[in-house]
Amino acid sequence: MSFFFNINSPYHWARTDRNGNLVEEGLAPTLASVPVTGHGSETVYGVVPGEFVVVRKVQVPARQRAKALAAVPYVLEESLSDDVEDLHFALLDWRAGESATVAVVSRSTMSDWLDSLNEAGHVIDGLVMDYQLLPSHPQCHYVMIRDAGGRIIISGRDNLGLVIDEDSLGMWWQGLEHADPAIAVDDRTLAETLIHLGATRVSQWPIGEHFPAWLGHGGKFDSP
């Protein structure tokens, strides 16, 4: 079984069975009151906002996972605005001798997250970005939702995803490598905005604003 919970407010939480099916969900008033059981009975994940994490796909020739992770900072160094010493790197997907999908977050942000968890008394097995819990649509390249705070959360294939505001949607659309991809959208207004930008393959897919609802629609997290 797996247990997921937001480490930032609102403190939604959800529990899934060994097949990834949603079995229980709730909303806690505080981080400390999230009902984390732990004790080895389930894998516990803290869910973090995806806008704090940069995800890149890079070529890493290493044949061992540890060596691939060690090489990533040097591969990405010139494309990052911050010093690699100030950043934390994690492999989301890796195949020996092939490309790797890498998550990058500032060490200060990571430290803040871990401090909050420690103060709340929670021990976790890992962190996941919120967009990693969005379900995949069988006919679409991207899944996109707008949450209650106005954040636009986008999930693509190969663990690639991001969180933007509506003002950045046009820039995201213009930067797509795949011309006019199929996009599943939860929000009607968002669908109309995409069509105005030139999208012709937009499908409405009501899956909810929060990750427990996404898990209930088939969202699954595959641990790297």
For 196-223, how does the pLDDT look when each residue is reduced to its tens digit (9 = 90+)? 999 999 999 999 999 999 998 876 665 5
Beta bridge partners of 90: 103
Q: Give the single-character DSSP code of 220.
A: -
Backbone angles phi, psi at 21, to 5 degrees: -80, 140
pLDDT tier at 70, thresholds 50, 70, 90 = confident
Collapse the DSSP code of 191 into the 3-class scheme (helix H, G, I; strand E, B; otherwise coil) and give the result.
helix
The identity of residue 167, as a single letter, is D
Over the stretch 123-151, which tens digit does the pLDDT of each residue have? 999 999 999 999 999 899 999 999 988 99
Lowest mean pLDDT among 25-29, 49-53, 82-86, 127-131: 82-86
pTM of the model: 0.88
| CA angle centred on 152, ends 149 and 157, rounded to 5° | 140
- Burial class of 212 by CB neighbour count within 10 A (0 to 12, 13 to 18, 19+): buried
